[in-house]
Structures are given as structure tokens and as C-alpha cells.
Amino acid sequence: MIIDILTSGFRLSKTRDKQLVHGILWTIVEGFFAALPFVFLFMMLTQAFAKELTIKAAIFFGCGMVLSFLLRIGASAIGAPKIYNGAFTMMGEARLNVAEHLRKLPMGWFNKQRSGDLAGRLTSDITFVEHMWSHFIQPFVAGFSMPVFLTIFLFFVDFRLAIVMLCGFPLTLLALLWTLAMGKSAGLKLAKANSAVQSALLEYVQSITVIRSFGRFGNSWKRLVKILDDQRNAWFHAETRTSPFLSCFGFVLEMSYISLVIFGIYWSANDKLTVAQLLIFLIIALPVYRQLYEVGQAMLMLRLANRSLMRIEALLHEPTLTEPQHPEMPENYEIRFDHVGFSYDKKETNNKEAGNTKMAGHKVLDDISCVIRPQELTAIVGPSGAGKTSFVHLIARLWERTEGKITIGNIDLKDIGTENLHRLIGMVFQDVLLFSGTVYDNIKIGKEDASREEIIEAAKQAEAHQFIMALPEGYDTVLDEHGSSLSGGEQQRISIARAFLKNAPILLLDEATASLDPSAEAEIQRAMNALTRTRTVVVIAHRLNSIRRADHIIVLKNGKIVEEGTHDTLVKADGLYQKLWNNQNKARGVLPQTEAILN
């Protein structure tokens, strides 16, 4: 476990910071100077028992002890900052590595995680490991090296007693390992309880509006209190579980010292060791045992850090999307599905479209074969749970297909590579995510090197410029977390502006105009029609009236393509599209003015 902790930073950060190595070396020097005063104490006591100690010698030994103390402070002043700088630098790299690894995971993996548990790994777990690295290495190395130097010196004082002392260390180590083993299960339960609390707190805060709206404050509060009680009990169990065994470890350590005393008295009684030699040895050996007890206590704390380390490394072991050794770029942007299938690989996972739970082996998409041509608007329609969102996610490779082949310009998505693919695709989905920062920065995410004029033009195309200029600071207005100060339609328009700014050759839209008022939707639809002339555009549509002019409509049902064609041909056919169209016509009859505006 110690080795795991001491090498965890190297594994997580994939680098070795020179400052950290230098800091550890200086800390070993600190341990040497921490042991040095006992050498002067030995010389002073030796002369004192021999009645040869003079005032001059006592002053010399005293000055030596003070100098050793000052040198120890100096070594610590040099080594500690180097360890802190090195540790924080490496753990900063570790955080970036974890974030980069998460970026390469398929979206399906995130859907299978509890958000609170994942947040706990990225915050408390990695912070705990960082804390142990930055605050534990220096005292541990110093605390361990000091008794090592003292033990070496004690061999020169009396090698027989030093051997007796060493013989007690293996038994002490076994007691410590037993203590750690007894606390393992309690540590696992504690980690599980902490994860449950993080998830429950996050869920409670995020759903507080719903809880209050439906009057379920009492039940939700009771559930949260129960989870917090479970965490308290887990902490209590983790602490009390190891207490008896920690006492046993201390007892074995003390018995080792008593054994040293017994052997010393026996040899002294048989004139093989003087009383003075025995007393001096016991005085100098006492700090060794005291320091070993403190190291043992520190190792008990490490069992929690080791658990956090395992949870972080489990993230890094999650398989990422496969990447080609030599990524290719397509020459055209025709998208082709060839007998594509997609299903979940866990026993259960939430299906966002269906609003229910899908079992392992259930094919969300089954034997999909179709062609999405460039410079055309292709619409994906179908009832809820048909697989529309999964269809579009596979194009962006947010999910990994389980069967068949998807190509862009006759090149497999896996051969294009994630980086190249994301350069080719602009996406606007129903769930809009805005970041903390200004409106300007949120739009600029679509194109980092965009000029202010380009950003404003994209906002105008997305019908966002007018409401942005009405904000207190215009484009420089700082948004609240997740853009909560904006309406759903305003958030969606900023998201659409990002996609327009990116100007990618492939544009994927998942009901991107659903949150907009009819007039804004009509304006954006005209802008999208203009974009279609030079791009491959794929739109998921629930309101069929908005895609009447689509060049190609694909109708899905239960993960299969049941119809394809234009609006006119599909309406004339006696199929699913006609039924959906007729049903929506009846609904639109309630609001005839909406259809007039859209037309």
C-alpha cells in the first residue's frame, strides 16, 4: 500500500517532477539531522557516566545538538517546498489526464454512472490522494529515515542489542499488517457510504424544485437523513473497527522494547554489558520505537487514500473509443449506414428517448442501412423510443456502434479518428449546456479563433443577437451557472449560434428549435435551409411540419427503418409517417395560426 501511494502520482500524472525527487532527497537529509542530536547525546552521556564530562565538552555537545536542529530546519525549509511544488504539479497533470481520458470515453459510459459518484471521484477522491501526496510524503520520509539512521548508529553502540531490536520489527510489522487487514472491509463500506452521500446530495439539490412543487420535502429529507446516518455509522465503524488492533500493534511495539530491556539487563547482570551502556542504548532506542508507532498510525490513514486511488485508477482503466494509428480525412461528406446495430452492454441503463429502462441485449437500433447525402437536409422522425437520438449520436461517435459500419466519404468513423470527426461535425441537441463565463465566450466555443464580427454574425443567424444586446453588458454579460438566467429558448439560440460559428461540413440537430417561439423558429429554419446548400444536415424532428421541405426523411420505429422518402411521397403512402402526420394535423388544428406562420 505504501508503494502504491508513493508511486500513485507517477502513475496518474505519467511524469516525474524533478522538484519532487530533489525534495525527497532533502527530506532524507532532514531525517539524518533529526537523528544527529542523539549521536551528540550518546557522546555526552558516555563521558558523563565515565565522569569525564567537562563544561567545555557539554557546551560543545549542546552546540552540536542546536546546530543539528537548525540544519534540520534548513533541510526542511528547502525540501518541503520542493515536495509541495512537485506534488501539486504532478497531481495537476493527473487531473488533466483524468479529464482527457473521460473526454475519450463513449457517452454510454456516462449514462451508466451516478453523477454524484463520478463527481466524488473527480473531487474528493483525487483531492484526498493529492493531500496525502503533498502532506504525507515529507513527514513520512523524514519520520522513516530518522529511525533508520538511528538504528544504523545503534549497531555501533552495541550490535547485540541492535540485533535484538531488529528481531522485534518483523513481528511489529505483522501486527500492523493485521490491523490494516481488519480495517479493509470497514474502509470499503466507508467509501461506499461517502459515494452514496455525494450522489444523494447532488440529486437532492438538483431536484429541489420538483421536490417542493410536489410536496415531497418530508420524504426526500428523510431519505437524505438516512443516507447521512449511514455515512456516520460507516465512519464510526471504520474508526472503532481498527482501534483494538491498533492497540495490539502498540502493545507488540512496546513488548519489543521491553524485550530489549530484558536482554540488556540479562547481559548486564552477566557482565557482558555495563549499566551505562544499557541506559545509553535504551535512551537512544526509545525515539526509534516512538517514531515507528507514528508511522504505523499514518499507514492506517493511508488505507482510505488507497481506496480513493483505486477509484481514480478505475476511471483510467475504462476502455476509450478506439483510435486509428493514422487518421484519415474524407473528401466528401456522404454518411452511409451499413447494417448498423446498437445495444447496451450492461444489465440495465436508462434510455433517454423511451423514458424507461432497457435490458442488456435489447437493440436500440437494428440493421440500419441508409445513405445521407451531402447538400441535403435529412430528417429523422418516428415515435418516442424509436432510436432517433441514438441514430444521430452514432454519427458523432458519442456512442460506439455494436454492429455494422458507418462511413463518411467511404471512410469508417473509426479510421477518421475522434479529433478529426469532431472537426467535421457541428451539433445542437435538446439539452443545452452553457458554461460559466460571458455570452461571447459561450458562443466562441464553436470556433476558438473566431473574430468578434464572426461571433456576432453567427448570433444574428441564430436569432440571438437581439436578446443578447438587451442584456446588461451585451455579449460581455456573465451568465449564471448553466445559463440559468436565460430562458430555454435563449439558451438554445446561443447553442445554435455555436454550431453556425463552427461552420462544420456536417450539422446534426436534435429538435434544436423545440424551445423557440414560432417566429424565431421560422427564421432559424430559413438560416438552416441556406446552410444546407453547402453542408450535410441531419435533423431529428418531432414536429413534422418543420421538415416538410426536407430532401430526405427517414422514419424509424422500434430501432428499424420502416420508411424513407420525401414528405409528399410519405404522406401519400399508407404508413407510419402518414399516421404521425395526420395526428399532428389534428393537434395543429387547435392552433392554426402556428402553421400559417411556419408556412
% the chain with pLDDT above 90: 17
Q: What tens digit of pLDDT does each residue of 411-431 get?
A: 999 999 888 888 898 888 777
For residues 464 and 495, give the distance between their C-alpha atoms in angstroms, rounded to a whole number: 10
**What would the pLDDT profile of 214-261 be if each residue is shown by its tens digit?**
555 566 677 777 888 887 887 777 667 666 766 777 788 888 888 888
Instruction: State the pairing for strand pair 552-557/536-540.
Output: unpaired
Residue-wise pLDDT for 507-525, tens only, equals: 888 776 665 666 666 666 6
- Using CB atoms within 10 Å of the CB of residue 297, give its burial: 0 to 12 exposed, 13 to 18 middle, 19+ buried: middle
Q: Flag whether pLDDT at 171 surpasses 70.
A: yes
Q: Which three cell numbers stand for residue 28?
A: 532524507
Q: Higher-confidence residue: 488 or 394?
A: 394
- What's CA 218's distance to the chain center, in Å? 32
DSSP state of 327: -
Q: What is the pLDDT of residue 595?
A: 43
Q: In the prediction, which pLDDT does 557 show? A: 92
Query: What SS3 class is residue 321?
Result: coil
Name the nearest CA neighbour of 337 among 257, 412, 254.
412
Phi first, then psi, for residue 379 (nearest 5°) are -105, 140
Distances in Å between the alpha carbon of 222 and those of 116, 216, 218, 276, 355?
19, 10, 6, 68, 27
Domain boundaries, the chain: 2-316, 335-598
pLDDT of residue 260: 87
The verdict on pTM exceeding 0.95 is no
273 pLDDT band (50/70/90 cuts)?
confident
pLDDT in tens, 133-168: 777 777 778 878 888 899 899 888 888 888 988 888
DSSP string, 343-401: E-SSSEEEETTTTEEEETT-EEEEEEEEEE-TTSEEEEE-STTSSHHHHHHHHTTSS--
Topology annotation, domain 335-598: Rossmann fold (3.40.50)
End-to-end CA distance of the chain: 69
CB 293 within 8 A of CB 169: no
Residues 6+ apart with CB under 8 A from 318: 101, 105, 109
Report the top-level CATH class of 2-316.
Answer: mainly alpha
pLDDT band at 33 (very low <50, low <70, confident <90, very high): very high
Confidence of residue 592 (pLDDT cuts 50, 70, 90): very low
Return the DSSP state at 426: E
Confidence of residue 588 (pLDDT cuts 50, 70, 90): low
Q: How far is CA 291 from CA 139, 196, 253, in A?
A: 11, 37, 11
**Measured between alpha carbons, how far is 390 from 398 in angstroms, rounded to an integer?**
9
pLDDT in the model for residue 348: 39
Q: Is the pLDDT of residue 294 over 50?
A: yes
Say which residue the cell 463518411 belongs to: 408
For residues 444 and 501, is the Cβ–Cβ distance under 8 A?
yes
pLDDT digits (tens, 9 = 90+) for 79-104: 888 888 888 888 888 888 888 888 88
Q: What's the mean pLDDT when you consider all of the chain?
A: 80
Please check the confidence at residue 410 and state whether its pLDDT lies above 70: yes
> Which of 516 and 363 is assigned the larger pLDDT?
363
The confidence score (pLDDT) of residue 406 equals 94
DSSP 599: -
DSSP 244-277: HHHHHHHHHHHHHHHHHHHHHHHHHHTTSS-HHH
Q: What is the pLDDT of residue 242?
A: 66
Contact 469, 535 (CB under 8 A): no
**Quick one: pLDDT band at residue 373, thresholds 50, 70, 90?**
very high
185 has pLDDT over 70: no
Within 10 Å of residue 42's Cβ, how many Cβ atoms?
Answer: 19
